[in-house]
Amino acid sequence: MKALVYHGPGQKAWEEKPNPIIKEPTDAIVKILKTTICGTDLHIMKGDLPEITSGRIIGHEGVGIVEEMGSSVSSFKKGDHVIISCITSCGKCEYCKKGMYSHCTDGGWILGNLIDGTQAEYVRIPHADNSLYPIPAGADEEALVMLSDILPTGFECGVLNGQVKPGDVIAIIGAGPVGMAALLTSQFYTPAEIIVIDMDDNRLAVAKTFGATHTINSSDGKAVEQVKKLTNGRGVDVAIEAVGISATFEMCEEIIGAGGHIANIGVHGKSVTLHMETLWSKNITITTRLVDTVTTPMLLKTVQSKKIEPKKLITHRFKLSQIMEAYDTFGNAAKEKALKVILTNE
Amino acid sequence: MKALVYHGPGQKAWEEKPNPIIKEPTDAIVKILKTTICGTDLHIMKGDLPEITSGRIIGHEGVGIVEEMGSSVSSFKKGDHVIISCITSCGKCEYCKKGMYSHCTDGGWILGNLIDGTQAEYVRIPHADNSLYPIPAGADEEALVMLSDILPTGFECGVLNGQVKPGDVIAIIGAGPVGMAALLTSQFYTPAEIIVIDMDDNRLAVAKTFGATHTINSSDGKAVEQVKKLTNGRGVDVAIEAVGISATFEMCEEIIGAGGHIANIGVHGKSVTLHMETLWSKNITITTRLVDTVTTPMLLKTVQSKKIEPKKLITHRFKLSQIMEAYDTFGNAAKEKALKVILTNE
Amino acid sequence: MKALVYHGPGQKAWEEKPNPIIKEPTDAIVKILKTTICGTDLHIMKGDLPEITSGRIIGHEGVGIVEEMGSSVSSFKKGDHVIISCITSCGKCEYCKKGMYSHCTDGGWILGNLIDGTQAEYVRIPHADNSLYPIPAGADEEALVMLSDILPTGFECGVLNGQVKPGDVIAIIGAGPVGMAALLTSQFYTPAEIIVIDMDDNRLAVAKTFGATHTINSSDGKAVEQVKKLTNGRGVDVAIEAVGISATFEMCEEIIGAGGHIANIGVHGKSVTLHMETLWSKNITITTRLVDTVTTPMLLKTVQSKKIEPKKLITHRFKLSQIMEAYDTFGNAAKEKALKVILTNE
Amino acid sequence: MKALVYHGPGQKAWEEKPNPIIKEPTDAIVKILKTTICGTDLHIMKGDLPEITSGRIIGHEGVGIVEEMGSSVSSFKKGDHVIISCITSCGKCEYCKKGMYSHCTDGGWILGNLIDGTQAEYVRIPHADNSLYPIPAGADEEALVMLSDILPTGFECGVLNGQVKPGDVIAIIGAGPVGMAALLTSQFYTPAEIIVIDMDDNRLAVAKTFGATHTINSSDGKAVEQVKKLTNGRGVDVAIEAVGISATFEMCEEIIGAGGHIANIGVHGKSVTLHMETLWSKNITITTRLVDTVTTPMLLKTVQSKKIEPKKLITHRFKLSQIMEAYDTFGNAAKEKALKVILTNE
């Protein structure tokens, strides 16, 4: 089969690889129908994740068709259309039993990381019963690619952890795909105001069409001031960090109101400064989370009942064989006005 | 009357002051029976809280007798014995309605701070109906002084915010009075292991008698290593910070297990380093809180039913008129083996 | 002034009464701008609430202008436009401190019940600081009459207690005003399906326009069967009872799925049969609640941000002086296609 | 092997049966070390559970040694000592993912019910990875038999569902084994008062030694009156029903205070009368639950750290081969002063 292979920092190729085979009775082999590229894949390509070795097939999102199952897989059969979760869950370790699949002792985020991933014609999915989700008949499969990672990430790490409530004023810092996923899913809880902050006017304009009530371009360094003004000096109820750098995390610290929640989504490479000298008495909560994808069934219900349109996040479409070109587009997201790209295995 | 008055950094006196009078219909005048000294009072004396002006009567804890009430005070009458909460609550602002009395728009921590406090023969208590609590007949009033601040602080900021559960392994960093209050009240929720960390062997020995299952003297810089060893490398479920400096906060970051809670109690004067490069994916929660004293009625029930003995926290007793001496003792807490001192207005 | 006065079962009159006066320092006198009639008022008129004595002015909903305040009222001043809550809250008793205003030891539901109410030109509001809510400038005051009772009742007793979640399948039994309020506010939490059950086709048609995804006329006795069919035999996640009789409560018991919530709103005059022989093992939760109106500020934010349009509930408008006629209309709700009527004091 | 076999109402025998064998890759065969008899087993013997067919081996509790595993069992190996949960959990269905193992679509309570059980020398355990729990080295295995059913049942259905909090006044109706389990585990949350109600003075005396602060013999029909007196007319915060008949359920309805929780544990054969005419406005919560055993790991930690001594529940000991005699003893629990009996496979 063909697959997108990482060959060390800055090096990748769309090349021939052996088809995956069943290794454990809990495995399934899935033929990829559609996949996508994640911001994390760009980090991998830069060499930011040293645990990823040369020769690895990248990718942790996608929908596909079950091709073959290990002897103990009971929830799926050949031919089933499935969503592949970015998180592998054994369903029986201490963490899985708590719904903290991200820390599964025999899983977690391993796809396209510690084992070969989904940017390929076929993929082996360990613990298939707990790591695949059935696609309902008639569903829009392209939209469901968003359920592999981006939508549960924005929802679990940003919205659920932030405890968004009806009537809240919330701020989302970072209008990339995951910030947009938080924007869409935050509306499940009917906040009164949603302020989206970014440095890219195009993304802010898109955020408006996705439900943002206010947008702020933070390039001029006055975003904190503007949020304070919008909230009569009180700060926001929930601040969702969807960038992953100290500057944006500290912005959350500055705009959070007393009793508020800072929900981190961003992947951080460095420490941040936590201003406990002011925050110690502000009754705030800060959360971190690697997505557990424990809400995938709930999210699927909201998609099926048309309460959310994840398809909105898709800006570009390619054939899977055009993946090198797709990386170029996604790698120049601002210029290309790209959010999520869809790669179809035709 | 006589009162302990702050006269600028390093300066205090036990001197004559006019008796307090009713200013608002919601005020009460309380004759102090017993009061105590808080670590915060030592900070005030050093000049660390610049908002406190020279001439201020210090103190925000105590029990007393209602002497006089404003026209709209309805829950108390002259002669009632009461616990004075360190937090003043109007009961009608947005924050009070949420149970966040610490941020009351006409109260919060003002006693012995923005208005005259309890280290005096009499004190004026604003919003008396919501800021005083009736003492049940026959109660040990000395023990109830611990309900003004120290017990709700340890409980709300440390134990409740940390979400201590049966079977948990918890760590308390700092075995001063507030750490000890967290130690006592954490046992309401039956954790399996309670690790107390401090640099003072005497306090650690006391912690053992208060229910700590393990104690660690962190002087040798190996506390993190020891906690990791005790928890088979997994870290603790709850880490309670009861010191207020970067080193101890970072110790919490190092010992917290995946999915765990860091509950800050300490008053911080400087920022701390938050290691988001490792914490972003650990599904942790960090909380801060200025005590709300919203649990005072619950705590009073546990004291009355003998589920907790706050009196254990009292190590020294003085007459109120000996308060200068009491400050010396409390100010040398390690040497004097002092936790809480009781001052009786005889 | 003129007021609607109850004179025993079946007897009422729009007649002259003395203007209310301040009795306590916490009282306010409010001039009524707009009021409405509640289903409970019809029960009163039938004599179903024997605690209500002849001569009582009825009514517990409305908006108005503050005319005069007692000496300790601090949150309002003469001329302020306010929402009158149906629940009086002292803000300082044990129940008020828990947010359970309905059980306030010096309040609760007393307006138009134990003291004179709002179907009059003026009304005395006890504990005004905690029982009135300021109307923001420019708000649609007619819509805000729905915040006195109907909207918090549907929301707190039905939606919050029922714990409606994104993706849920919920059923609302009873499409009267309070069922409709539950229908509108349930959408704050984005359920996937909302099934409304009633015996009146007009109300079901209205429910469709308010967001019901399915409606069932239960006249043929097949409602349970239809719900089972719609849910593939699993039953609903949340069943909201908004009628108050045994038949509809038992319908909730039959349609509730394993792990589900039955949230009672209806006022019951008789006991109901609880089928514990089937329910004991179904992991369900049943809740009851007299509205606390603790969510009024939250609801006000959702109205101001146009996330909900309570005005939709208003079907008829009268002058306050036409209140006898308004009672006739509201008393024949089915025939008149009435939900809420607005009475304006011109 | 030998096993206790049900042969229709009133008929049972300790007789030879074929050893169980692996049927599914997820199965394990466990050699029983210790087992016990449940009140439910007595119901089975009376013929109250018609789904149980003649020839069935009874029993759903026990500890044992893993003898053989199916090909996909990964958490256990031959020779491991294990607790057998009364609930079988596949770990991958919708209900298991929610922690509602009792409703597992391929499990739930099936042991000694729909498949052969633990009152035998060997037992087949389906979904072994999720239905067995490892016994720590050095643990008291007799005590751990209480973790199969009785302790999680009292804890989950009674204490967790009842939301017992520090300072609460709680009542437990029924001092049989499961009521006693609720009594022991309720103390994890430090209620101020625990009132135990039963008609057997011996059990009430035992309850006192287990931590009850008050006991009431309800034979004289004055239990409700006594509870009201003990609570100054307010009623209790939590009422736990551990009998399963209408009279005791209605007692809970009468003694529950405003805002309180009624947590049902009892297995009911008939409907009960729910007095909604008084309860509709009392803001109460009623819960039902078939034990999920989702708290078994937490309970094991509390046992290992000696926060609870489940061994206290054991009153009689027999050899497994004496099981007919053990049934006689347990069947005359009041006369024999029996709570739990232990049967050892020697």
A66 in Cβ contact with A114 (< 8 Å) = no
Contact between chains at D92 and A71 (C-beta distance less than 8 A): no
Residues of C in contact with D103 (CB under 8 A): 258-259, 283
Choose the mutation target among D26, D72, D82 for the interface with A, i.e. most A CBs under 10 Å: D72
Would you state the pLDDT for residue A243? Answer: 96
> Residue D134 contacts by C-beta under 8 Å, 6 or more apart in sequence?
D75, D76, D80, D81, D82, D83
Contact between chains at D100 and C273 (C-beta distance less than 8 A): no
Give chains near D: 3+ CB pairs under 8 A. Answer: A, B, C
- pLDDT over 70, % of chain A: 100
Fill in the DSSP letter of residue B143. Answer: H
In this structure, the strands spanning A56-57 and A62-69 are unpaired
Residues of A in contact with B259 (CB under 8 A): 95, 98, 100, 103
Contact between chains at B305 and D167 (C-beta distance less than 8 A): yes
Q: Taking Cα atoms as reference points, which of C44, C50, C53, C57 lies closest to residue C1?
A: C57
pLDDT tens column, C243-267: 999 999 999 999 999 999 999 999 9
Residues of A in contact with D129 (CB under 8 A): 92
The CA-based angle A46-A48-A52, given to 5 degrees, is 95
D86 touches chain C (CB under 8 A): no
Q: Taking Cα atoms as reference points, which of D276, D194, D281 lies closest to residue D242?
A: D194
Closest CB to C192: pick one of A167, A187, A305. A305
Closest CB to A71: pick one of D72, D74, D294. D72
Residue D26 reports pLDDT greater than 90: yes
D181 in Cβ contact with D154 (< 8 Å) = yes
Which comes out higher in pLDDT, residue C199 or D49?
A: C199
pLDDT tens column, C63-88: 999 999 999 999 999 999 999 999 99
Q: Taking Cα atoms as reference points, which of A239, A322, A339, A219 lies closest to residue A2?
A: A322
* The amino acid at A68: E
Q: Alpha-carbon distance A107 to A116, whole Å?
A: 13
- How would residue D88 be classed by pLDDT, with cut points 50, 70 and 90? very high
Place of tokens 């409390």: B330
- Map residue D192 onto helix, strand or coil: coil
Residue C128 reports pLDDT greater than 90: yes
Q: Alpha-carbon distance B102 to A281, whole Å?
A: 8
**Cross-sheet strand order for the sheet of C236-241:** C214-217, C193-198, C169-173, C236-241, C256-264, C285-287, D285-287, D256-264, D236-241, D169-173, D193-198, D214-217
Q: Alpha-carbon distance A341 to C319, whole Å?
A: 60
Closest CB to C25: pick one of B71, B92, B129. B71
Q: Taking Cα atoms as reference points, which of D244, D241, D251 lies closest to residue D275?
A: D251
Would you state the pLDDT for residue B15? Answer: 97
Would you state the pLDDT for residue B346? Answer: 86
Closest CB to C280: pick one of D266, D275, D284. D266
Tell me what the mean pLDDT of segment A39-66 comes to.
95
Contact between chains at C91 and B294 (C-beta distance less than 8 A): no
Rounded to the nearest 5°, which phi and psi values hold at C184? -65, -45
pLDDT tens column, D240-279: 999 999 999 999 999 999 999 999 999 999 999 999 999 9
Helix (H) or strand (E) holding B344: strand B340-344
Q: Which residues of A125-161 are buried (b: 16+ CB within 10 A; e: fewer)?
A: bbbbbbbbbebeeebebbbbbbbbbbbbbbbbbbbbb
* Longest pairwise C-alpha distance within chain B: 61
Tell me what the mean pLDDT of segment D114-132 comes to.
98
Q: Alpha-carbon distance C336 to C343, whole Å?
A: 16
Contact between chains at A97 and D72 (C-beta distance less than 8 A): no
Contact between chains at B192 and D299 (C-beta distance less than 8 A): no
pLDDT tens column, C327-341: 999 999 999 999 999
Ranges of beta strands (E only) in chain A are 2-6, 12-16, 28-36, 56-57, 62-69, 81-84, 122-125, 132-134, 169-173, 193-198, 214-217, 236-241, 256-264, 272-274, 285-287, 314-319, 340-344
Would you state the pLDDT for residue B85? Answer: 98
Tell me what the mean pLDDT of segment A235-247 comes to.
97
Residue C326 reports pLDDT greater than 90: yes
Q: Alpha-carbon distance A170 to B42, whole Å?
A: 39
pLDDT tens column, A133-172: 999 999 999 999 999 999 999 999 999 999 999 999 999 9
How many residue contacts between C and D have a Cβ separation below 8 Å? Answer: 110
- Tell me the CA end-to-end span of chain B in Å, nearest whole number: 13
D281 touches chain C (CB under 8 A): yes
Q: Alpha-carbon distance D148 to D37, whole Å?
A: 11
pLDDT tens column, C189-229: 999 999 999 999 999 999 999 999 999 999 999 999 999 99
Place of tokens 């989370």: A289
A195 in Cβ contact with A216 (< 8 Å) = yes
Would you state the pLDDT for residue D346? Answer: 86
- How would residue C345 be classed by pLDDT, with cut points 50, 70 and 90? very high
Choose the mutation target among A82, A92, A104, A294 for the interface with D, i.e. most D CBs under 10 Å: A92
The per-residue pLDDT string of chain B (346 residues; one tens digit each, 9 = 90 and over) reads 999 999 999 999 999 999 999 999 999 999 999 999 999 999 999 988 889 999 999 999 999 999 999 999 999 999 999 999 999 999 999 999 999 999 999 999 999 999 999 999 999 999 999 999 999 999 999 999 999 999 999 999 999 999 999 999 999 999 999 999 999 999 999 999 999 999 999 999 999 999 999 999 999 999 999 999 999 999 999 999 999 999 999 999 999 999 999 999 999 999 999 999 999 999 999 999 999 999 999 999 999 999 999 999 999 999 999 999 999 999 999 999 999 999 999 8
Q: Taking Cα atoms as reference points, which of A95, C331, C31 lies closest to residue B257?
A: A95
B27 in Cβ contact with B126 (< 8 Å) = yes
Residues of A in contact with D99 (CB under 8 A): 97, 99
CB-CB neighbours of C298 under 10 Å = 18
pTM score of the predicted model = 0.97
C277 in Cβ contact with D279 (< 8 Å) = no
Q: Alpha-carbon distance D266 to C269, whole Å?
A: 28
Q: Which of A238-247, D6-15, D26-35, D46-55 has the lowest mean pLDDT?
A: D46-55
A166 touches chain C (CB under 8 A): yes
Q: Alpha-carbon distance A332 to A56, whole Å?
A: 23
DSSP C260-279: EEEEE-SPPSS-EEE-HHHH
Q: Alpha-carbon distance B273 to B280, whole Å?
A: 14
Contact between chains at C285 and D286 (C-beta distance less than 8 A): yes
- How would residue C97 be classed by pLDDT, with cut points 50, 70 and 90? very high
Classify residue A331 as exposed, middle or buried by CB count within 10 Å of its CB (0-12, 13-18, 19+). middle
Residue A333 reports pLDDT greater than 90: yes
B149 in Cβ contact with B38 (< 8 Å) = yes
> Residue C175 contacts by C-beta under 8 Å, 6 or more apart in sequence?
C183, C196, C197, C198, C200, C203, C204, C206, C207, C242
The interface predicted TM-score (ipTM) is 0.97
Tell me what the mean pLDDT of segment D104-116 comes to.
97
Closest-CA residue of C relative to A302 is: C167
For chain B, the average pLDDT equals 97
Would you state the pLDDT for residue B183? Answer: 98
